Structure 1
């Protein structure tokens, strides 16, 4: 059974793929590179996470596959454009109406930038493991706070 986090990630990736394809038809590699560029290299989805989402988008009729010179090119459909616009508007409304959430995501983005700025130091296994422990502990504490509030 998928967790809420896995569904959220898949939903966010769905939006990112539709966003990329809204620019122009692309190969999977181009989709990945477009997403990576959008995040200035801080996030790069793996082919293993992109392919299942694209397969889902195709089965939903939001994306179609064209074969050009024996290679698969993914093209957003009219239905996909409509869904993309709805998803984008929904995200925009959520972030504009929820200032507290924006503050949290900005803080998380700042942490991502910090990690990126220290990426060379993080090649050291001991340092990497220490940082991972801090991140894991933080996630667990956040989940505990939120679960505690949810039960009230």
Structure 2
């Protein structure tokens, strides 16, 4: 079973954008900065990832656009607030009902923090070694999950 990481990222980004706009209407740049602040600088979405998701949110009537000084200000709609509430409920359900899943996600988050803390001292050789380890790890995890699914 292959997980569509791009879809997962877009779903997560969709929720992060709606959360930002739930606080106040914002320009796209402000949305990016709000998300970056939420992750203490560890993650900053690019304009290239934000704008397609914003377009989709507008198309689905989850976000509306107001013009001010020839700039777009994005606002969450009532439908967007309902969607955000449902998304948050779904996330809470996943993490509360599957304690072992939460432990795995916590381990992955800790790994991400370790990598981030060494980002400035990581040379190309170590980067390549770590990337290879992560690729093998992902492959082993997918193999394990596929075998479990077939059992």
Determine the C-alpha separation between the residues in 2 that align with 1:125 and 1:27: 37
Q: Distance in 1 between matches of 2:134 and 2:59?
A: 36
Pairwise CA distance, 1:3 = 5.2
Does the Cα contact within 8 Å between 1:42 and 1:112 map onto a contact in 2?
Answer: no
What corresponds to 1:106 in structure 2?
Answer: 106
- Distance (Å, rounded) in 2 between the aligned partners of 1:130 and 1:33: 32
Unaligned runs of 5+ in 1: none
TM-score in terms of structure 1 length: 0.93
Higher relative CO (Cα under 8 Å, sequence separation at least 6) belongs to 2
State the partner residue of 2:124: 125
Q: What corresponds to 2:95 in structure 1?
A: 95
Answer yes or no: is the 8 Å Cα contact 1:26–1:75 preserved in 2.
Answer: yes
Task: Give how far 1:6 is off.
Answer: 2.2
User: 1:40, 1:28 → 2: CA distance?
Assistant: 18
User: Which residue of structure 2 lines up, in the alignment, with residue 4 of structure 1?
Assistant: 4
Structure 1 residue 15: Cα displacement? 0.6
Q: Structure 2-normalised TM-score?
A: 0.93
Counterparts of 2:125 and 2:57 in 1: how far apart (Å)?
41
| Residue aligned with 2:41, SS | coil
The size of the alignment, in residue pairs, is 150
